[in-house]
Amino acid sequence: MNSLINKHVSFVDLGIMDYPRAWDYQTRLFEDILLIKKNNRDKPASEQEPTPNYLLFCEHPHVYTLGKSGKEENLLMAPAALSTINATYHHINRGGDITYHGPGQLVAYPILDLENFFTDIHQYMRSLEEAVLQVLASYQLAGVRVPGMTGVWLPSPDRKICALGVKTSRWVTMHGLALNVHTDLSYFDHIIPCGIEDKAVTSLQQELGREVSMTEVKARLQKSFYSVFKMTA
């Protein structure tokens, strides 16, 4: 464990940002934390530097991303045709299969040194889900986990409202979760979301049958993150 545990998390709202820019941004933070940890190994405890943590929120223009274990055939359009729907496509270094990001979807990228919190990847994934479950509960929606799958769902029938995909190295995290707030769900028609063929997708707006404020959802998700992970601002 770190000699100096740091539960402070810097929150940054990136607004609407192209996927490659956001990926580069979180990668720089991720690599900076890894460098601090590497340098700490060569220092006495009294000289070690605490590692920082970040929580990034953003929305992306229409984009499909394929995780390192994903299957190309789960993109149902030819990549060259994506420009006709104003979308782009990127192979990325998170786990999981293909997913969609776009306006009206809240993406959260926790860049954390888990040695500041707990060293358990299973617990980390369940904690991400719990943060979203608390947001849904605040809207009187009973979200659930589906055995054997990641993410957050609404039941009967199961429909996915939040997807997860992460990368970790030496207990440092990047990538994260995507919560459909008032997303244009028709964009999911062009993929097999997360490689799962028999499940639907949904959004907060669709479930509530009314407009939902992205600003309000951001505030609630930030609050639940800090509560679940026992972070300090």
The catalytic site residues sit at 194
Closest alpha carbon to 6 in 39, 46, 49, 44 = 49
Contact predicate 201/180, CB 8 Å: yes
Contact predicate 56/177, CB 8 Å: no
Rounded alpha-carbon distances, angstroms, from residue 46 to 35, 43, 49, 161, 177? 18, 8, 9, 46, 36
3-class state of residue 51 by DSSP: coil
Which amino acid is residue 70, in one-letter code? G
Calculate ∠ Cα 180-29-9, nearest 5°.
Answer: 70
- Residue 144's DSSP bridge partners are 153
Q: For the chain, state the CA radius of gyration.
A: 18
